[in-house]
Structure 1
Amino acid sequence: MANVVPGDGQPAPAAVPGPAAPYPAGWEADVVLTDGSTTRLRPIRPDDADALQAFHVAQSERSTYLRFFASLERLPDRDLERLVTVDHRTRVALVAVSGAPGTDAPERIIGVARYDLVAPETAEVAFNISDAHQGKGLASVLLEHLAAAARERGVRRFVAEVLPQNGRMLAVFKEAGYEVRQRTEDGVVQVGFDIDPTDRSLAVAADREHRTEARSMRALLTARSVVVVGPGPDPGPDGGLAARQAARVVEGLVPEARAGRITVHAVGVGDAGPDANGVSHHLRIEDVPGPVELAVVALPAALVLDVARRLGDLGVRGLVLVSGGFAESGPEGLARQRLLVGIAHGAGMRVVGPSSFGLLATHDGTTLDASLAARPPRPGRVGLFCQSAPLAVTLLAAVERRGLGLAQLVSAGHRADVSGNDLMQFWGEDEDTDVVALYLESIGNPRKFSRVARRLSAHKPVVVLTAGRSGHVVPPGHAVRPTRAPRRTLEEVLRQSGAIRVENVHQMLDVVQLLAHQALPTGRRTAVLASSAGGAALVAEAAAAAGLVVTGCVELLSEDADAARVRAAVERVYTDPDVDVVVVVRIPTLGGHDPVLRSEVARAAARTGRTTVACLDDLHGVTAELTAPDGDGRERTVPAYAGPEDAALALGHAARYAAWRAGGRGVPVHPDGVDTRAAGRLVAGLLSASGATDGAPLTLDPAQTAELLAAAGIHLWPSVRVHDADEAVRAAERLRWPVAVKTTVPALRHRADLGGVRLDVADETELRADVEGILALAGEHDPGPGVPPLEVQAMAPHGVACVVRSSEDPLFGPVISLGLAGDASDLLGDVAYGVPPLTDVDVAELVRTPRAAPRLFGYRGLPALDVAALEDLVARVSVLADALPDVRSLELNPVVVSPHGLAVLGAYASVAPADRADAARRLARP
């Protein structure tokens, strides 16, 4: 799989002269291939010459011919030096390498991708993939990362020359989602395509990401051969806990090992003989017969790196590290953790942990218990993810008390590698899982989380509990970027993704047991079947608070109701056509249970598919008493709750999720006239001219801000800054009367209520009086160095003033906000947030979310305003912010929305170099 770049045995292309860029460490990435294995990508270095020559010599004659259009047994020294010496700007090369860093064996190159600039914004590309690694999607991954690097350097188009028989390479270009044009000339296929992301190319990359990460997780969760590594019979003072952990893991694997369903090896675990309880014991890792799919390691941190290197030789695909001593112990531990991940990925392994509780999974009747659990949970159809080991203990205990079954449990510990995103990719295609629950102590990549969770939520419910409402909590050991985002940003990320957010473990399992055992609600209309009028009233109140609508269908059953009356009441409830969901509450004052009511409710709920929750006597969780088969023979259980409030809250969450899933999520917004290329060139030029390298934001002047907005198709109304009344009069005559005059003092510039803004100024006399009043009001306030104290602007049509903002956050990326202007919004926080990329549905919801939004839709008889124009503006800001991370902040204030159009009267922008967390790298190094 290869094509030629002029210069590989041919004259080098003309490159734009300039100094070499520093080594771009930000381009380093760990990626997952289509077989679920991992490899590392990085820029090529001069010391790669020997590895590149070895890679070339190992290639087949056909691969060499397809790459160079000629047979070359060895690369000439001159060409070899040129190939490994690049400037990371006009000549760029990425290599895929395998092999563990820190070992005596050198890294092996298994793939190369490069580009050479041949014209402004155009580069010629070439790829060469190891024969042994073809068919694993490596060329597609390299193309994706090379295109991302090229866009950073201002390249917008790739061209290539490919031999017609090189069908694989042509397919890589076409399947990447770009609009590829090709023609054949002199027996060579000339290929060209723009590399700016498109909806299709982004969808292709997301689909490839989904498939590869799902496959890597499947390899872990369906492993049928396991090696457990402990510190040995004499663990020393630092190995006592690790020894007990290793012994517990082996104990959990024994039942399946005895049955012959899982092959289990133990190294350094106890002092058992060579074969005990179905477990093969070994003195050294090298004595274990490979291949082995999964390794569970419990060792003092100082010993883990060497063991990880040796496990790679066994063909291990996943390493579960239950012991700690890494990032939580400080900078040295964090460095050790990063090296561990590098070693694992170089050997093709994924890492779960450190400080993991392990993993549990049931598949095809076999339970893989590679965990510290005293006993595995009963099998079920719920996928459960958490991070810290202590929390896994709490979750498993709560799951057992409720009788809830699990399909999988994965504890990621400090999630040095495997995270909730990876598991969601797996659950998206796992037929054994119906409901997903995540307890997240931190979110390392919220943008990717939102993308993956939205895809999963479209067909499976995702219930999320976070350690803190803001997402600003960073537990020890979690390597998370800082954030400046508003505390409600995480809430918006979860809402956009369709996830069901809950407040605590109790609520999480309340919702999960409902979604796992009942059909989704078809609506919010609620019937109540209660044992007393007082109980029915409490249920109605709780249901209304949960967002449900209680209909007139309220059936009361006294404690002494006979079987016939019970059956009749249940029948009336479940045959009412105006009922979507049912809440059943029986709290007898004298104790005792009603078996007829239990069985009748269970059968009616299963027969009709009508979503039902119950609060009955002493039942709790998933019980046999409330279980019955549906029409297809599948067991359905009405979940039982401790109180009506819990039942109604869970039902409300389910109803909102069902409505979200049934509603269209829209299409990505692409307003006409948005030129992100022009905006990117402007920002890059401004940053280059300023020499900004320390990350300090550069504030744009009004002309620069207007130019940036114009690239997004946003018109900023012109204004003139003046010093005195004479200049103000000349400006007004130039702009045409009537005008607005306002102070540039930040504290007063938008405060018409305080006199800082005067509107509808119709003539010179009025203007001079207003200028005098504003200058007196501003008093000793300083508008800023070199900023005139006044601004004159043509009057816009009357309407409602709004504020639209975007800001680039190190953790969340771009965050968009919208609020109506004024103290009420600012002081009371009446602001809506969105995290791009947004769809047209997201934009519409964003505009309608603020409590003051009714003012835009004809409030109290006033004319309705041009909401479509406001939505278009929000969409443009969203696209600009999503495409340009270097736009640190943008504020449009005020935006006056009138019945016919809107006017952007003020804008303020700053730019600074940014490094977005999810930039094109699919599995970034920690």
Structure 2
Amino acid sequence: MEAAQYPAHWEADVVLSDGGTAHVRPIRPADADRLRSFYSRLSAESIYFRFFGPRPRLSDREITWFTNVDYVDRVALIATIGTEMVGVIRYDRIEPGEAEVAFLVEDAHQGRGVASVLLEHLAATARERGIARFVADVLPANQKMMAVLKQVGYTAQSSFADGVVRMTLDLTPTETAQEVTASREHRAESRSIERLLSPGSVAVVGAGREPGGVGQTVLRNLLGADFTGPVYPVHREVRAVAGVRAYPSVTDIDGEVDLAVLAVPADGVIDVVKECAEKGVRGLIVVSSGFGETGPEGRARQDEMVRIARAYGLRVVGPNCLGVANTDPSVRLNATLAATLPERGRVGFFSQSGALGTALLQRVAQRGMGISSFVSAGNRADVSGNDLLQYWEEDPRTDVILLYLESLGNPRKFARLARRISRRKPIVVVKSGGTTQGVPTGHAAPVLGLPDTALSALFEQAGVIRVDDLIQQFDVAQLLAYQPLPAGPRVGLVGNSDAMALLAADACVRVGLEPRPPVNLGARAGAAEFGAALASVLPDVDAVVAIYMPPIPGNAEEVGAELLRVSRGCGKPVLAIFEGKIGMLGELRVGATPERGSIPSYTAPEEAVRALAHVVRHARWLEQPAGVPEEIEGVDTGAARSLVLAALGDAPAEMDASRLLACYGVEVWPSETVTSPQEAVDAATGLGWPVVLKAAGSEAAKRAGTVRLGLSGPDGVRDAYADLTRQLEPEAVLTVQRMAPQPAVPTVAGVMEDPAFGAVVSFGLGEITARLLRDEAYRLAPLTREDAAALVRSPRAAPLLLGEYGYPPVAVEALEDLLIRLGRLADDLPEVARLTLDPVLVGESGVTVLGARVVLRSHEGPRPDGGPRRLG
């Protein structure tokens, strides 16, 4: 077989198990010297295990053999850190569908997960080249290699002969293999963020003596927070900054440096990154601006900075960011430009905007809400919200996750992580750019092709609480952080203001909650009255809003103490409108800093009720089973892929959608294109009476009156043909199709391959009003049974399917089954750029697909969040 072109899409930056990074790529002939150097650093034992005997050096012939591969039958991938190779893995095809695999990892880097990540990537390349099995001959004493092969999650078999263990791996992706990959990814990415947020020492590069300078500001904030480790100012010329000894460069620092904050001009950042790599720094915070946000030249500088940092094992926050903070008493890290840092709390906060970050931290501090940790990612060139989700999932100090997102680097991965994490810790998101779907200049993220309604639907699928603005985000967060989740929508209202109680009741109705009649205690009610009323209301509701707005100053401390006493341990959320103040007030706190059971306060009833409604919907989502994509009968993925590959060229192509759908158990009713009245009659006779005659083109079909229904004889077909050709044009293309059962509700279903989200399933009703209003719903493929049920019920016109407004109930379960099959097709075939089923008639006994159209497009490399682990 001829050698393939260098497969650049196999290159990837990866996170290792200890949180460091490496670069994985195919080997090249130019790597000969790099391979010699790598081999010279191997121990005799590693060489013996690889070659089954001593081999002090590789010959020039062997070097040529190992570095010259065809990327088809012979493939080798290497892992590099900096300029050095630290691991290599290869396969050689030995027969159709089977290849021999072997790998080597430099002794100094063993135990960091290099071998496992290389094996993941090689398995993906092998499947791409039609290889289904790996075989490996291993010496019995080589327990490390056998462990790597066994623990990857593929089905493994082993046999022993002639002193060698032969292991065979079936490379078919299994649920176990996917779980192993996800678990390793989670641990590695979590560890990489932990290294940033819990450093043992920090260097501030660019910390000068000028008051108000960026570097000095970060340095003073670090010192002011009483960071628990050493802090090293770095400046080329001065000997001390803020009373702390300064060093001329990072490499001149006496001790180890875990984290470096870079506050130097943009054109000097890359040189400092190289210094940090030489020093062994493990993470970078780049607060400097002048990168992607300035245009193409800055973007190129930004990309080069990240490339170098990752190549040497460093993660990067920024550039153009505010910094990071950790309120853990054992760390006390404030490596930000914000002098005001909230106190310790249970909320993790991620913001992309550096400029907005200062204001956000001030607002959190004003509310007395507290944070566990904070990261401002700026241009989000490397560290992203997905990385922070991995960290906060296991962080025992974080109960609620807040994300302010201006862009999504890998939306599909975000949805996967959020769906898992939301079941343990609520995620509250503000996503800017909802009207434009634009991406801020400088962000390393794709422009989203889906409408904002689709993004909201995909957030909903993942259990993410999406709110409209930052005020709502904090309103929801302070409720989630300190109060239990409600069991339902019933709301009790207790207060000393009849007007505000009525406002609260109206607000409940507007957002779908069920208010009980307000209990009005009168303007002069005190602690005893509030306590008694709260105790009487709590048993019959799921949540209570308490309103304390005395017309003249009362005893707020006593009322607050009584509300805390009665609500303690009730298991139901209690919210307050307390003297018009916002946040975690001292009168309503449990503990000196807010702890669970503290009652959040809001300035107005509408704000409290709106926050409660978000939390009620989240609690309802948690009650639904997580679900898994189910096995489907009547699916022939192999046949479907053969059809697609046969039809697909280099350019977008179309094929017979009915044949493709038949591979997934979906029947499209046949139709025939006709060009004369007699052809129409003959087609109707062959298909079976009664029939429909309609315009074939999608544009013509949008015009009113282009369909003739219920034609039961030849004369009716001839008359309809003549009528339609007069209305359209004589050469109009018409089709004949058998009449579907009536009554039925017309719907539209489809799938699309989105560059950012991957496979997406859409659904809407086919009524003209629903089409004009784009009343569509979306879910990521593949679909669980729960996903399909939610997809059917999400459009605003969905009640027409459920027996409301005088319509008879239809076969919703059959419709859900159809959507599940579409989701499976979309997940299996990334080459399906778009598939539209229009119309799909849903009747009382089943669904009928009357029309389908598919567009194919070549697809190379993994999907977003597909394939082996990789950064980006």
Q: Same fold (TM over 0.5)?
A: yes
1:910 corresponds to which of 849, 855, 858 = 855
The one of 620, 628, 639 equivalent to 2:600 is 639
Q: Tell me what 1:746 maps to.
A: 698
Q: What displacement does 1:668 show?
A: 2.2
1:167-566 pair list within 5 angstroms: 167-230=143-206, 244-255=213-224, 261-268=228-235, 271-273=238-240, 277=243, 279-469=244-434, 472-552=437-517, 554-566=518-530
CA deviation string 1:82-123 (max 9, x = no partner): 221222233322111011xxxxxxx21111122333444444
Aligned residue type for 1:844: A
Alignment pair present for 1:834 and 2:779: yes
Partner of 2:734: 790
Tell me the CA shift for residue 448 of structure 1.
0.7
Query: 5+ residue gaps in structure 2?
Result: none
The aligned counterpart of 1:129 is: 105
1:29 aligns with 2:12: yes
Q: What's the counterpart of residue 722 of structure 2?
A: 772
Task: Give the aligned CA root-mean-square deviation in angstroms.
Answer: 2.5
Report the AA paired with residue 208 of structure 1: R
**2:794 aligned residue (849, 853, 856):** 849
1:563 Cα offset (Å): 4.7
1:312-340, CA deviations, whole angstroms, 9 ceiling, x for partnerless residues? 12221110000011111222221211111
Gaps of 5+ in 1: 1-16, 100-106, 234-239, 783-788
Contact 1:485 1:815 in 2 (8 A): no
Q: Shift in Å at residue 276 of structure 1? A: 6.3
1:760 equivalent to 2:710? Answer yes
2-structure distance, mates of 1:229, 1:206: 36
Question: Structure 1 residues 879, 290: CA separation in 2 closer, same or farther (over 3 Å shift)?
Answer: farther
Q: How far 1:272 sits from its partner (Å)?
A: 4.8
Secondary structure in 2 aligned to 1:116? Answer: strand
Of 829, 838, 843, which residue of structure 2 is paired with 1:884? 829
Q: Secondary structure at the match of 2:332?
A: strand
Q: Does 1:919 align with 2:866?
A: yes
- Distance in 2 of aligned mates of 1:821 and 1:74: 71
Equivalent position of 2:70 in the other structure: 87
Mean Cα displacement is larger for which, 404-413 or 717-726?
717-726
Instruction: Give the deviation of 1:770 after TM superposition.
Output: 2.4
CA displacement 1:153-182 (0-9 Å, x = unmatched): 344443433344333333333322322333
Shift of the 147–794 alpha-carbon distance from structure 1 to 2, 3 Å rule, reads farther
TM-score of the two chains, using structure 1 as the length reference: 0.89
Preserved contact between residue 668 and residue 851 of structure 2 (Cα < 8 Å): yes
**8 Å Cα contact 2:764-2:770 kept in structure 1:** yes
Q: Which residue type is aligned with residue 845 of structure 2?
A: H
Count of aligned pairs: 868
- Equivalent position of 1:717 in the other structure: 669
Letter in structure 2 aligned against 1:855: L
Deviation per residue, 1:701-724 (Å, 9 max, x gap): x2xx23322333322232222222
TM superposition shift of 1:271 = 3.4
For residues 150 and 471 of structure 1, the distance between their equivalents in structure 2, rounded to whole angstroms, comes to 41
Percent identical pairs in the alignment equals: 45
Q: Which structure 2 residues correspond to residues 17-166 of structure 1 after superposition, within 5 A?
A: 17-18=1-2, 20-99=3-82, 107-166=83-142
Secondary structure at the aligned position of 1:747 is classed as helix
Secondary structure of 1:73's aligned partner: coil
Contact 1:584 1:612 in 2 (8 A): yes
Alignment partners' CA distance in 2, 1:821 and 1:187: 68
1:824 aligns with 2:772: no
Aligned equivalents of 1:562, 1:328: Cα separation in 2: 56
Deviation at 1:256, TM superposition (A): 5.8
1:616 is aligned to 2:578: yes
Which moved further from structure 2: 731-740 or 801-810?
A: 731-740
Any conservation in 2 of the 1:809–1:815 contact (CA below 8 Å)? yes
2:669–2:848 CA contact under 8 A, matched in 1: yes
Supply the distance in 1 between the matched residues of 2:301 and 2:499 (Cα, whole angstroms).
Answer: 62
Q: Provide the C-alpha distance between the structure 2 equivalents of 1:769 and 1:350, rounded to a whole number of angstroms.
A: 72
Give the 3-state SS of the residue equivalent to 1:903 in structure 2: strand
Contact conserved, 1:665 with 1:842, CA < 8 A, in 2?
A: no
Equivalent residue number for residue 5 of structure 1:
none
Q: Distance in 2 between matches of 1:483 and 1:595?
A: 50
Q: SS state of the match for residue 366, structure 1?
A: coil
User: Matched residue of 1:169: which SS?
Assistant: helix
User: Counterpart of 1:651?
Assistant: 612
Amino acid at match of 1:892: L
Q: Give the C-alpha shift of residue 466 in structure 1.
A: 1.2
2:516 counterpart SS class? strand
CA distance in 1, matches of 2:849, 2:580: 62
- Residue 760 of structure 1, CA deviation: 3.4
Which residue, out of 816, 828, 846, partners 1:901? Answer: 846
| Equivalence for 1:858 | 803
| Gap change, CA 1:36 and 1:924, over 3 Å in 2 | closer
**Deviation for aligned residue 1:780:** 6.0
For 1:668, give the aligned amino acid: P
C-alpha distance in structure 1 between counterparts of 2:194 and 2:869, whole Å: 18
In structure 1, what residue type is equivalent to 2:235?
G
Query: Cα deviation per residue 1:721-774 (whole Å; 9 max; x = unaligned)?
Result: 2222222333333333333332212223477xx342333333323222222223
Could you say if the C-alpha distance between residues 214 and 471 of structure 1 is closer, same or farther in structure 2, counting changes exceeding 3 Å?
A: farther
Pair 1:579–1:653, CA change in 2 (3 A): same
Q: Which amino acid aligns with 1:79?
A: E
Could you say which residue in structure 2 is the equivalent of 1:605?
A: 567
Q: In the aligned structure 2, how far is the partner of 1:85 from the partner of 1:195? A: 25
Deviation at 1:32, TM superposition (A): 0.6
Shift of 1:254: 1.7
The separation in 1 between residues aligned to 2:633 and 2:333, in whole angstroms, is: 53
Secondary structure at 1:604's aligned position in 2?
helix
Once the two structures are superposed, residues 448-488 of structure 1 have per-residue CA deviations (whole angstroms, 9 ceiling, x without a partner) of 11111112111111110111225712112112223322231
The answer on whether the counterparts of 1:470 and 1:491 sit within 8 Å (CA) in structure 2 is no
Change (3 A) 1:151 1:486: farther
Q: Cα gap change, 1:750/1:194 in structure 2, threshold over 3 Å: closer, same or farther?
A: farther
**Cα drift, residue 357 of structure 1:** 0.5
Match of 2:637 in 1: 676
1:116 is matched by which residue type in structure 2? D
Is 1:524–1:549's contact at 8 Å kept on the other side of the alignment? Answer: yes
Partner of 2:758: 813
Instruction: Read off the aligned partner of 1:488 and give its amino acid letter.
Output: T
The answer for the alignment partner of 1:661 in structure 2 is 622
Aligned 8 A contact 2:4 2:72 in 1: yes
Partner Cα separation in structure 2 for residue 756 and residue 185 of structure 1: 74
Amino acid paired to 1:613: L
1:497 and 1:653 map into 2 onto residues whose CA distance is 14
Give how far 1:30 is off: 0.8
Structure 1 residue 68, shift from structure 2 partner: 2.9
The C-alpha deviation readout for 1:59-94, integer Å capped at 9, x for no partner, is 223322332334322223233212212222333221
In structure 2, the CA distance between the partners of 1:193 and 1:740, relative to structure 1 (3 Å rule), is: farther
Q: Hey, what's the Cα distance between the residues in 1 that align with 2:621 and 2:68?
A: 53
